[in-house]
Amino acid sequence: MSLVITNIGELFTADDELGILHDAALVAEGGRIAWLGPAAQAPAADERLDAGGRAVLPGFVDSHAHLVFAGDRAAEFAARMAGEPYTGGGIRTTVAATRAATDEQLRAAAGRLVAEMRRQGTTTVEIKSGYGLAVEEEARSLRLARELTAETTFLGAHVVPAEYRDRPDEYVALVAGPMLDAAAPYARWVDVFCERGAFDGDQAREILTAGLKAGLGARIHANQLTAGPGVRLAVELGAASADHCTHLSDADVDALAGSPTVATLLPGAEFSTRSPYPDARRLLDAGATVALATDCNPGSSYTSSMPFCVALAVREMRLTPAEAVRAATAGGARALRRDDIGVLRPGARADLIVLDAPSHLHLAYRPGVPLIRTVLHDGVPL
């Protein structure tokens, strides 16, 4: 079955060579993009979707989310808005709630968030564990995440759980050993929260190195609250991405600029923790690759909305709307080392969105407005 989308006012390909096309058409067949170009030259297809002069973009690639959890922390958010700082300490509250939940409850909650994301134009999402923090619990979280996405990440090193508070090195050995063994069959990536109060550079290195040896790719929660060693460790280990990048030294920026490690920025976290936003402009100008993601989680960033992150990146992080949309699509794909998503070009997956607007500019220009009209995943409308 083939589908032609006609009457596309603006086709935002997010592809370096193809750029932005006007008065365009696109043909999807077998879940892939078969053709795109000037509307007047569009080949025939079995079905036709009239975009009515609207903008068509790649589906968003949300490369950083924590969706397997129970409960929420709305009161913690309210306290922060009244002046309390974010420390990551609330993670243990969510761990207790998650351990107490059944598979069915966790599956339903995560599925609801993925559906929420889809409605907002996300066609690929990465999902981390990290609220189990025990061997069986982390394996369970990843098994449930796997039901929702192929991009699953083992984050046993989120914080040291309460029962290991006085023996953190034993916990690191557990994560790098038996927990990794149990998690690896369900995971594509390994991640560590490298931060004061969570895991230091040496502990992160030990866990990530073990993960790499087990065949997983690496990513790091780096430099969120302090300018620690996370970013440089990510670059040194060849991690796919360093996530947060809120507090960067010049050496961190240089390291990212000279490497394939993507700087994944999570402005929902700065919004919800009332923190200064990372300087996306500085990273792009230095030559680093930038991605945007939601960091959807019940503590630091309980948003599932990539359009919201795009708007924040434009307003608060000095990206142009086009740069922000590219970071939310092609950038996310780079952060997941994928070349089949995040761009519209022949051969790529037919994951795309039709906006209820004539151009991508409206995503930042009309913040908070539900502009996602149609979502196609593998060429099939959702």
Residue placing its CB nearer to Fe ion in the complex, 67 or 174: 67
Inter-residue long-range contacts of 100-103, CB under 8 Å, 24+ positions, other chains counted: 100/70, 101/70, 103/140, 103/144
E strand or H helix at 95:
helix 91-100
CB of 265 to ligand NIG, least distance (A): 12
Residue placing its CB nearer to ligand NIG in the complex, 312 or 348: 312
- The residue of the chain with the least Cβ separation from Fe ion equals 295
Residue placing its CB nearer to ligand NIG in the complex, 134 or 286: 134
CB of 5 to Fe ion, least distance (A): 34
173 HSE (CA, 13 A, CB side): 5
223 is in an annotated binding site: no
* Buried-state track 302-335, b at ≥16 Cβ within 10 A, e below 16: bbbbbbbbbbbbbebbbbebbbbbbbbbbbbbbb
- Judged by CB under 5 A, does residue 295 bind Fe ion? yes
360 is in an annotated binding site: no
- The whole-angstrom separation of Cα 271 and Cα 292 is 14
Q: Supply φ then ψ for residue 339, to 5 degrees.
A: -110, 5
Q: Which amino acid is at 54?
A: R
What's the token pair of residue 275?
Answer: 């923190």
342 binds, among Fe ion, ligand NIG, none (CB under 5 to 8 A by kind): none
Residue placing its CB nearer to Fe ion in the complex, 273 or 359: 273
Q: Supply φ then ψ for residue 296, to 5 degrees.
A: -50, 120
CA angle, residues 31, 112, 221, in degrees to nearest 5? 85
299 is in an annotated binding site: yes
329 binds, among Fe ion, ligand NIG, none (CB under 5 to 8 A by kind): none
90 binds, among Fe ion, ligand NIG, none (CB under 5 to 8 A by kind): ligand NIG
Give Rg (Cα) of the chain.
20
221 is in an annotated binding site: yes
CB of 92 to ligand NIG, least distance (A): 9
269 binds, among ligand NIG, Fe ion, none (CB under 5 to 8 A by kind): ligand NIG
User: How many beta carbons lie within 10 A of that of residue 365, not counting itself?
Assistant: 14
362 is in an annotated binding site: no
CB of 130 to ligand NIG, least distance (A): 7
Show Cβ contacts of residue 26 under 8 Å, excluding neighbours closer than 6 positions.
4, 5, 8, 11, 33, 35, 36, 56, 344, 352
Binding site for ligand NIG (CB under 6 A): 66, 88, 90-91, 94, 193, 221, 224, 269, 295, 297-301
Name the site residues for Fe ion (rule: CB under 5 A).
Answer: 295
The binding site for 4-imidazolone-5-propanoate consists of 73, 131, 158, 224, 300
The binding site for Fe(3+) consists of 64, 66, 221, 295
The binding site consists of 64, 66, 73, 131, 158, 221, 224, 295, 297, 299-300
The binding site for Zn(2+) consists of 64, 66, 221, 295
